Amino acid sequence: MKRICLFPGTFDPVTLGHVDIIDRAIPLFDKIIVGIGLNTSKAPMFSAEQRLQWISEIYKDEERVEGAVYEGLTVNFCKLIGAHFILRGIRYVSDFEYEKTIADANRTMDKSIETIFLTGEPKYTSVASTIVRDIIRNGGNAEPFLPEVVSKSFQR
């Protein structure tokens, strides 16, 4: 059985914190699907297509990482792609409390799916997509928080 993992999120935009978690998870899994979840209650700054393109560009040389867009319950998407693991990044204790609640609900819905938590590198703990979007909206320099592929896409 292949170890397929889903790393779900909005990735709006993809940050260095996201890349850190993905890069450190690569040795743990045969395949990581970066799942761009569409949430009807959120109005993203960047299109799902743009976010998917960033993932594809960042990981063009890593065959074990691919992007996908999905709607609905994460556990249902896991079943669709054959993933038995969900990857989540943790920056702070408060992240863990929130993520554990979701992991418990997912486990209740499907006991075959295990959530794996990786703590982010300390240098990325302040990197959050919400903060990065605010910096971009207000004309600030978000480059220190973003992969080069992402920051260059703003300069086109």
Catalytic (active site) residue 91: yes
pLDDT higher at 125 or 48? 48
Kindly indicate the confidence band of residue 155, based on its pLDDT and cuts at 50, 70 and 90.
low
Catalytic (active site) residue 42: yes
Q: Which of 24, 112, 123, 129 is catalytic?
A: 129
Give the mean pLDDT of 92-109: 93
What pLDDT was estimated at residue 80? 97
Catalytic (active site) residue 126: no
User: What CATH number labels 4-154?
Assistant: 3.40.50.620
Domain positions in the chain: 4-154
CB 87 within 8 A of CB 5: yes
Sheet holding 31-38, edge to edge: 65-71, 31-38, 4-9, 85-90, 114-119
What pLDDT was estimated at residue 1? 78
What pLDDT was estimated at residue 40? 74
pLDDT per position as a tens digit, 8-21: 999 999 999 999 99
Find, among 82, 111, 113, 116, the residue nearest to 99 by Cα: 116
pLDDT above 70 covers a percentage of the chain that reads 99
Q: Above 90 in pLDDT, residue 43?
A: no
pTM of the model: 0.94
Q: Which of 42, 60, 123, 152 is catalytic?
A: 42
Catalytic (active site) residue 129: yes
Q: Above 80 in pLDDT, residue 2?
A: yes
Kindly indicate the confidence band of residue 140, based on its pLDDT and cuts at 50, 70 and 90.
very high
The interaxial angle of helices 93-109 and 74-81, nearest 10 deg, is 60
